[in-house]
Amino acid sequence: MVTEIDFKKGEGLVPVIIQDASTNEVLMLGYMNREAWEKTLVTKRSSFWSRSRKRLWIKGETSGHFQEVKEIYLDCDGDTILLKVNQLGGAACHTGFRSCFHQRYKEGGWEVSGVRIFDPKEVYGK
């Protein structure tokens, strides 16, 4: 049994799976560095390190669609985190879909499969 998060293997970052606490639907995957992990513990809202923007971000800081953290799990070798959350606004994806995983593989290609909850133009104004 491991007793702490291994931030070394991923050069300071660990992948974090976000799952809906009530339905168990997987909503998204993000990355945390130690600062994002500690921010999550203190605020009880999912916080991540953005690899593209290279900065800490609290999920929902723009849209208001925060994730209230209900349960936290660590995998067997300590290098992946799983959060069970209550997704405010009903959708985790910036495209307005409930889940970021809304493209399903079928017959050699990807097709949209999922529920769109909001219009991104209305939420993000763009």
Residue ranges in contact with its own copies by CB under 8 A? 1-4, 9, 15, 17, 19, 23-26, 28-29, 51, 71-77, 80, 82, 93-95, 97, 100-105, 109-110, 112-113
* Residue type at 3 in one-letter notation: T
Min. distance of Cβ 124 from its own copies in angstroms?
14
Nearest-angstrom CA–CA distance, 43 and 76? 26
Helix locations, 1-118, DSSP H: 34-43
Min. distance of Cβ 66 from its own copies in angstroms?
19
* CB 72, CB 65: distance < 8 Å: no
Closest CB to its own copies among residues 64, 108: 108
Number of alpha carbons in the 13 Å side-chain half-sphere of residue 96: 12
Closest CB to its own copies among residues 66, 84: 84
Min. distance of Cβ 64 from its own copies in angstroms?
19
Closest CB to its own copies among residues 27, 66: 27
Q: Which residues contact 4 (CB under 8 A, 6 or more apart)?
A: 78
